[in-house]
Amino acid sequence: MTYVRHALTDDLETLPRMPTWVTSTRAETLEDVAFLSGAALSHLHLVLGHEEVPQALLRDRLALRAAEACVAFSGRPERAGELRDTVYLLRPSDLPGPAGETYLAWRRAVERPVSIKALGRALPAFELGQIATWLDAGKGAPVTRATMALETVLREAPRADEAALILADAALAQALGWEHLVPLLAAGLKRADLRKRGDDLRLACHRALFSSAVEAVRLSADLACRAAHLKAVAPKLRAKGAGDAVEMFLTHDAVAPSALPLPDRAARRLCDRLVDLGAVRELTGRDTFRLYGV
């Protein structure tokens, strides 16, 4: 298995690496930070263009990080593990609670190509016309447009941090020509940054996008390697419905065995088999109510 992993890693060397001058340069002024954030976003743009990167899985995992940040901004204690439990173990009659709603909003925001209708699905508390106005609040370069969208929402709806960040990422995606929203801003900002305005907010957004773009490039390479390994071992799976199950792992941050298109016992055996093959990981550390992910 070690040989297989090394071979897959070698195959994925085609993914461009972030230049060291981008990650090693220290910048303080708005001009310098803007230059580095632009370089990092440009490099992420190249990486996202590679078919080896499991795009839906990457967005779903970044959505979890964004939701975790938004929950922390609101002063709630839930972190990634609890958010996963809330959403992936949710029964039809259950309510997700405030933290779960935040996570669901981010997941809905990344599921479909950016559009007013898709954003309305993620943010049902707001009218589509209001969403369209906020999304189009900014002009100019991509980060400037994202910052202006963020500032406009926070000024008009001061408690709508989650909506502001989703719409800012959506504005950024549109400006960069990305089909889908890629959650970047929330994980890189601090709570105090959301109360800034003007150049101070723009500087905070450039810093956030720089750090998040660098992390997204690293995560893209890691997920590309893991996805390639899962695809390589897939032919060894003999369970009926295994192909559809593999596709779920390639598009979702986490999967509960009960959600797989197999009988319960067969689903648990498949998950155990994939763990033995090193293709997926058990994410909870529990003996029951387990979740699995690439």
Is the domain of 46 the same as that of 113? yes
At 253, which CATH number? 1.10.10
pLDDT digits (tens, 9 = 90+) for 163-205: 999 999 999 999 999 999 999 999 999 999 999 999 999 999 9
* CA pseudo-torsion sign 20, 46, 69, 199: positive
Residue 162 in domain: yes
What DSSP element (H or E) covers 242? helix 242-249
Count: domains in the chain:
2
Of 176, 202, 224, the domain-final residue: 224
pLDDT digits (tens, 9 = 90+) for 213-262: 999 999 999 999 999 999 999 999 988 899 999 999 999 999 999 999 99
Cβ-Cβ contacts under 8 Å for 44 (sequence gap 6 or more): 182, 213, 216, 217, 220
Q: Which domain holds residue 57?
A: 27-224
Of 181, 196, 224, the domain-final residue: 224
Is the domain of 169 the same as that of 42? yes
Q: How far apart are CA 91 and CA 67, in angstroms?
A: 20
Is the domain of 31 the same as that of 86? yes
User: What's the mean per-residue pLDDT of the chain?
Assistant: 94
Res. 113: pLDDT tops 50: yes
Contact in structure between 133 and 120 (CB atoms under 8 Å) = no
DSSP class of 194? G
Is the domain of 129 the same as that of 254? no
Residue 132 in domain: yes
